[in-house]
Amino acid sequence: MKVVWGAATHVGMLRQQNEDAFIAQDDLFVVADGMGGHNAGEVASALAIDSMKRAAVGGFSSQESVVAGVNAANAAIHAASGGQSDQRGMGTTLAAVIPLPAHGDEPQRMVVTNVGDSRVYLWRA
């Protein structure tokens, strides 16, 4: 399977601070869009990306391992939001595409997951 990818982020025209975070590499594609209008959206999105990076260190091997990574990101954000008052109520969306290793004659599969209103699109050329 050939995958062509790129990544960029922009603060936009309305906000002064970019609350987005992402990682894009051959085996992990994750976007976290911090919730604007809430406390510390940029902290929440960075925590989500860091958690997914840590979860991917050994490589994701199954859909369940991806779910565990998303749950770890949620737990990290929840734990941090209970601490400092300036981080209470922080949140982020998360959208990810994660290639799983092929087994035997099976074709390679991709896991797509999202939390919140961020989307993932499949474009076939």
Q: Is the pTM of this model over 0.85?
A: yes
Q: Can you give the residue ranges of every domain in the chain?
A: 20-115
Question: For the residues 11-16, what does the mean pLDDT come to?
Answer: 73
Q: How confident is the model at residue 1 (pLDDT cuts 50, 70, 90)?
A: low
Reply yes or no on whether the pLDDT at 22 is more than 90. Answer: yes
Residue 73, SS3 per DSSP: helix
In the prediction, which pLDDT does 115 show? 94
Q: Which fold has domain 20-115?
A: Phosphatase 2c; domain 1 (3.60.40)
What does each C-alpha distance from 7 to 68, 88, 89, 108, 109 come to in angstroms? 25, 29, 28, 23, 21
> pLDDT averaged over the chain?
87
Distance CA 120, CA 112 (A): 7
In the prediction, which pLDDT does 23 show? 93
Alpha helices in 10-101 (DSSP H): 41-55, 63-81
What does each C-alpha distance from 56 to 17, 49, 70, 91 come to in angstroms? 28, 11, 11, 21
Are 66 and 60 a contacting pair, CB within 8 Å?
yes
pLDDT of 48-97, one tens digit each? 999 999 999 988 989 999 999 999 999 999 998 887 777 788 899 999 99
